[in-house]
Amino acid sequence: MLDDLSMHLTTIPVLHRVLTVDASRGQSIKTAFGLAVGLSVFVVYHVLTDELLIHSTLFVVSVAIIGWRTAQLINVRTRADSIARRRIWGIVRFGALIFNVGFWVWLIDGWTCGFLRDTRHAIGLPWAFFLELHGWWHIFTAIGAYVFIDVVDCLISSDDPEAETFAWPASWAGDFFFAGSKKAEARKNV
C-alpha cells in the first residue's frame, strides 16, 4: 500500500508547483492546503479499502495536469524556435517515454505476476533480475518523475531557461537524443 501512496507523494508536490506558478503566497498556501486535505482523505480511504480504481484515476489525472501545465510553461517561458525550447521538449519527450515504459512494465507485471515469479525461480540469478518487472517499474517511473521535476524546476525557478543545465539523464536526452540539437547532429556526422 505504501508503494501505491508513494506515487501520489511524488506527483502532488509537482502538481502544486505547476498550479501555483506566478500565484500569490496566499493562493499558493490555499492550493497546498487543498491538495494536502485531498491527499489525506484519499490516503485514509485507500488504507481502509485498498482499492485501485480511484488510486489509478487520481494518479493519471495528476500526471495529465502536470504534463499539460509543463507544455504551457515551456511555450510561455522559452523563445519559439530557440535551442533551449528544443532541448527542453527533448527532455520532456524522454521523461514521458521512460515514464510510460515504466507504467506499461507495471501493468505487464500485474497481469503476469505468477508466470514471472515461476520463471524467475526456474532460471535463477543473475537472469531472474531482468524479469523482476516491479523493480524495473520503479526505476523507469522514478527517472521519468525526476525529469519532469527537473524541467518544472528549471522553468519556474530559473531566470534564464536558455542557460539552464540539467543532470544526467536529462542532459543526455536533451543534448544528444530527443531534441535534435546541433550537438546531436554533429555527433551523427562524425
pLDDT digits (tens, 9 = 90+) for 113-135: 888 888 888 988 888 878 888 88
The 10 Å Cβ neighbour count of residue 165 is 9
Question: Global pTM?
Answer: 0.75
Given a contact cutoff of 8 angstroms between Cβ atoms, the answer to whether 70 and 152 are in contact is: yes
Given a contact cutoff of 8 angstroms between Cβ atoms, the answer to whether 78 and 161 are in contact is: yes
pLDDT in tens, 86-118: 888 888 888 888 888 988 888 888 888 888 888
Domain ranges of the chain: 1-77, 80-190
Residue segments in the chain with a per-residue pLDDT below the cut of 70: 1-3, 158-190
**What CA–CA distances, in Å, run from 145 to 1, 30, 52?**
19, 24, 20
Of the chain, the percentage scoring pLDDT greater than 90 comes to 13
**Which residues touch 46 (CB under 8 Å, ≥6 apart)?**
1, 4, 5, 54, 55
d(CA 108, CA 103): 9
Q: Is 134 annotated as a binding residue?
A: yes
**What CA–CA distances, in Å, run from 6 to 9, 59, 168?**
5, 11, 23
pLDDT at 30: 96
